């Protein structure tokens, strides 16, 4: 078929994973098959472990070279998927309630709308409130400033615990 892109590298990596799992089964049987501290399966164990290491190394190298390097995200499509994600309606539940948030999600799905368009059309929230509450960038990229107050409280608590109950070292017995 013209224009078809074959996912050969991803398929190759899944085949490698299957082979490594099979090698692991063989190593398990080999490890269990030893008698009286003499394991005649050592060559099988060594071969399968080194084979797994080799094919995983080669597979990951080729995956990186021929699939990952040079790949660029389609930001326009990603933003479209994020805007149309029905799970984002969860953020509205504390503000407008579960039932209204559910109605927004169903309306958006039934009418092929974004959540924002559905919420505004139903009139449950204003545009400014929607933008304030539903901001996926805040959820996926926590900043250091957002974490600092929590860390300060944790550090103060730990320091207070350390001062309140210092660890005393017992002298070693003579």
* pLDDT tens digits for range 84-142: 888 888 888 888 988 999 999 999 999 999 999 999 999 999 999 999 888 887 777 65
Per the structure block, which two tokens stand in for 173?
């017995």
Whole-angstrom distance, CA of residue 150 vs CA of residue 18: 44
pLDDT given for residue 154 in this prediction: 63
**What three-state secondary structure class fits 173?**
coil
User: 35 φ, ψ to 5°?
Assistant: -125, 135
pLDDT given for residue 156 in this prediction: 59
Whole-angstrom distance, CA of residue 49 vs CA of residue 146: 45
Mean pLDDT within 155-166: 55
- Asked whether residue 167 carries a pLDDT value surpassing 90, the answer given is no
Residue of 139 and 17 predicted with greater confidence: 17
Q: Which residues pair with 119 in a beta bridge?
A: none
Residue with tokens 């933003």: 79
- Asked whether residue 169 carries a pLDDT value surpassing 50, the answer given is no
Mean pLDDT of the chain: 83
CA 121 to chain centre: 34
- The pTM score is 0.53
pLDDT given for residue 135 in this prediction: 84
């Amino acid at each position: 078929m013209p224009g078809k892109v074959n996912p050969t590298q991803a398929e190759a990596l899944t085949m490698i994973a299957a082979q490594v799992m099979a090698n692991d089964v063989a190593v398990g049987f080999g490890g269990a098959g030893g008698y009286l501290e003499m394991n005649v399966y050592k060559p099988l164990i060594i071969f399968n472990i080194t084979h797994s290491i080799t094919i995983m190394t080669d597979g990951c190298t080729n995956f990186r070279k021929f699939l990952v390097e040079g790949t660029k995200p389609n930001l326009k499509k990603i933003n479209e998927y994020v805007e149309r994600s029905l799970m984002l309606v969860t953020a509205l539940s504390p503000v407008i309630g579960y039932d209204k948030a559910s109605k927004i999600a169903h309306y958006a799905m039934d009418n092929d709308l974004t959540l924002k368009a559905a919420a505004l059309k139903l009139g449950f929230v204003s545009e400014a409130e929607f933008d304030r509450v539903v901001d996926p960038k805040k959820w996926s990229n926590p900043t250091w400033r957002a974490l600092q107050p929590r860390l300060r409280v944790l550090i103060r608590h730990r320091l207070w615990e350390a001062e309140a109950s210092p660890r005393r070292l017992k002298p070693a017995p003579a």
